[in-house]
Chain A
Amino acid sequence: MTPLAQLVEAALFSASRPLTAEELSTLASDASAADVRVALEQLREHYDFNQHGIELVELAGGYQILTRAVHAAALERAQFSVRAPKLSAATLETLAVIAYRQPVGRVEIEEIRGVSVGGVLRSLQERGLIEVVGRSEALGRPLLYGTTPLFLELLGMRDLADLPKAEELTIALRPHRAVAEGMDDAAAYVEAES
């Protein structure tokens, strides 16, 4: 491995969160982000080619060294690590609305989910999965929420573009704010998916 790849490995090993290529490029004075990407690729190949128990994962806009999924069961049996608890349906639905509609206010989330979401929003904020990203211009200037990098980490996504696209869903996601024009429209969507 090149000296830069070694440096990158050391940095990722010591960090407790994903590091971006830009952050990693501060390791060496003469290293560009492009150099770092080459080094990262070398590191990834090193772990894969030599069949290491860890791998380089692209996560939340950065890079992190993670144990390979095949070892999950053994690690849990030995109690070196514990699988994160499953997310509840209420949590997932609320996160889904925010992920696709951000920045989005509480009222709109409640309209889509059909339930009040005050408690869920608070716990999501406490867990650092969502944050206040601004205020709406609407009456009372309500808070607007968005997802955080931690949300991407939790789901193992590089960025929000990793979310399912409209055409990948059973029912195409409608563009924002395009509310019902009428029955014909809705019927067309149902026909399209059946």
Chain B
Amino acid sequence: MEHLSVLTAPVEAPTTALGGAPGFVVELDAFSGPLDLLLHLLREEQLEIADIPIARIADQFLSAIHELGLNQAADYLDMASRLVRLKTQMLLPRRPEEDGWEDPRAELVRRLLEYQQIREVAVWMGRAAELRAEQHARGYLPPPPEVPPPPLKLDIIELFGAVERVLANIPFPVLHRVVARPLDVETATRRIEELLAGQEQIRWLDALGSRPTIVDVLSTLLALLELAKRGALRLVQPTPFSPMVIARDSARTTG
């Protein structure tokens, strides 16, 4: 059965999007008919076509057409009623050794096998058509290009109104843009080290240099903290709110 399932594999049962649309015929995107659905069920259960457990497959067929919302399609209902009739026929007492007895499933089996052949031929033909479509004859006319939309009809008042609406949506123009200036911690560090090389301790204002900008102040502060962390100097504030004193950390620099 392997090769058969390969041939018919692309037709999968849809699991969603069908429940909400009763009466919708799903032939194109799901099954191409009740026989297709039946074959799908048999494949799913890996059952032999020649020996179908009718009771089980009839129940599954009924629940499938219910789930798929196929209950309005006459073709499926027809098959459902046949299956139910077969199911009852199989329940009748019988003696297989009896000569006149005929398996009630024979007709269904014949139809399924016949349909399977057709499916196989259909797949072959689909492939043949695809191969043929790769070759083109002369005189090919491309489909006409899409018609452009008709020209707009409006008067000057409407046009101005439209322009105003567009302008109103443009955000207020940006007049000034702040460009972040990178802090220059290296220069500040060098300056502090130079000052401390000449004297034991300096004042905060000395470290800042003349006419410091806000960036200079921040750079100096970061440089001081970094140097203090490294142990190159100590930051001392003798009394609350008094100017900070920057002292060389002689103990550590010498040691």
Contact status A66-B136, CB under 8 Å: yes
A115 touches B132 (CB 8 A): no
- Interface hits, B111-133 → A, CB 8 Å: 111, 113-126, 128-133
Residues of B42-56 contacting chain A, CB below 8 A: 48-51
A92 touches B122 (CB 8 A): yes
Q: Are B106 and A90 in contact (CB under 8 A)?
A: no
- Determine if B146 is an interface residue (Cβ-Cβ < 8 Å): no
Is the CB–CB distance between B137 and A96 below 8 Å? no
Chain B, interface size: which category?
35 or more
The CA-CA distance from A171 to B110 in the complex, in Å, is 12
Which size bracket describes the interface of A in this complex? Answer: 35 or more
**Residues of chain B contacted by A86 (CB below 8 angstroms):** 126, 129-130
Nearest CB of B to A111, in Å: 8
Given contacts A113-B33, A114-B34, A171-B113, contact A16 B137 (CB under 8 A): yes
Contact B138 A65 (CB under 8 A): yes
B35 lies within 8 A of A114 (CB): yes
**Distance, CA A75 to CA B49, complexed state (A):** 46
| CB neighbors of A among B138-188 (8 A) | 138-140, 142-143
Contact B107 A89 (CB under 8 A): no
Q: Which residues of A contact B129 (CB under 8 A)?
A: 84, 86-87, 154-156
**Contact call A75/B136, Cβ cutoff below 8 A:** yes
B121 and A99: CB pair below 8 A? yes
A-B contact number at CB 8 A: 156
A186 adjacent to B126 (CB under 8 Å) = no
B3 within 8 A of A: yes
**Known contacts A88-B28, A179-B110, A186-B110; is A116 also within 8 Å of B75 by CB?**
yes
Contacting residues, chain B, for A97 (C-beta < 8 A):
118
A112 close to B74 (CB less than 8 A):
no
Stretch binding the partner chain, chosen from A25-33, A38-46, A134-142, A162-170? A162-170
A155 to B123: give the CA distance in the assembly, Å: 12
**Is A6 part of the binding interface, using a Cβ–Cβ cutoff of 8 Å?**
no
Does the CB pair B135–A72 fall under 8 Å?
yes
The yes or no answer to B197 lying at the interface (CB within 8 A) is: no
Chain A positions within 8 Å of B125 at CB level: 87, 92, 95-96, 99, 155, 163
User: A16-B139, A170-B4, A194-B1 are contacts. A93–B122 as well, Cβ < 8 Å?
Assistant: yes
Given contacts A90-B28, A96-B122, A113-B32, contact A156 B107 (CB under 8 A): no
In the assembled complex, B64 has its CB within 8 A of some CB on chain A: no
Q: Assess whether B40 is interfacial by the CB under 8 Å rule.
A: no
Tell whether B105 is near chain A: CB-to-CB under 8 Å.
yes
Q: How far is the CB of B174 from chain A (nearest CB, A)?
A: 44
B103 within 8 A of A: yes
Task: Report whether A93 and B130 are in contact in the complex, using a CB–CB cutoff of 8 Å.
Answer: no
The answer for the CA separation of A128 and B137 in the assembled complex, in Å, is 18
CA distance A64 to B130 in the complex (A): 18
29 pairs across A/B with beta carbons < 8 Å?
A65-B138, A67-B135, A67-B136, A68-B135, A69-B135, A81-B142, A84-B132, A89-B11, A89-B122, A93-B122, A96-B125, A100-B118, A112-B115, A113-B35, A113-B118, A114-B79, A114-B111, A115-B27, A155-B128, A164-B120, A169-B117, A169-B120, A171-B116, A171-B117, A171-B120, A173-B117, A183-B50, A183-B105, A193-B4
10 closest A-B pairs by CB: A156-B132, A180-B110, A72-B134, A92-B122, A115-B33, A66-B135, A69-B134, A114-B35, A96-B121, A187-B50
List residues of chain A with CB under 8 Å of any chain B CB.
Answer: 13, 15-16, 57, 64-69, 72, 75, 79-84, 86-90, 92-93, 95-97, 99-100, 111-116, 153-157, 163-164, 169-171, 173-174, 179-180, 182-183, 186-187, 189-190, 193-194
Besides A83-B133, A183-B109, 19 more A-B contacts (Cβ < 8 Å) are: A16-B137, A72-B134, A95-B125, A111-B111, A114-B75, A154-B129, A156-B131, A156-B132, A156-B135, A163-B124, A163-B125, A164-B120, A171-B113, A171-B117, A179-B110, A180-B107, A183-B50, A186-B113, A190-B113
